[in-house]
Amino acid sequence: MDVLGLLLTTAFRETINEPNIEAGFARFTALAGGGVSQAAFCDAVAAALHDGLIREPIRLPEGALQCHWHLELTPKGVETARRLLRVDGSGTGSSC
């Protein structure tokens, strides 16, 4: 599975809500099992945002003093993640 697919399926299964993108990347790699560079992660986030698969990840909640980083799928992203999980049955991209 490519990094974008891994991003979508991980966000579908898990919550990633961190104080910044570095912590978000660390949480993602911990959940996804590593093997993804930060540059590839940032490219996948940018592509997912451009394609309307995720909501804007940098947020300033009401009453907060600083922004935080949150990975949340849009309805289109949820459907795409479900389709990816149906294709291989596991979400790992492996055919084994």
Question: Residues 59-80: pLDDT tens digits?
Answer: 777 777 788 899 999 999 999 9
Residue-level pLDDT at 90: 53
What tokens appear for 6 in the block?
């891994």
73 to 49, 68, 92, 95: CA distances (angstroms): 9, 16, 18, 25
Residue-level pLDDT at 27: 96
Tell me the pLDDT band of 91, cut-offs 50, 70 and 90: very low
Query: E-assigned strands of the chain?
Result: 16-18, 58-59, 68-71
Query: Rounded mean pLDDT of the chain?
Result: 88
Q: Which one of 3.60.20.30, 1.10.10.10, 1.10.1530.10, 3.30.1280.10 gives the CATH number of domain 3-88? A: 1.10.10.10
Domain ranges of the chain: 3-88
Residue-level pLDDT at 49: 96
pTM above 0.85?
no
Of residues 40 and 62, the one with the higher pLDDT is 40
Residue-level pLDDT at 83: 96
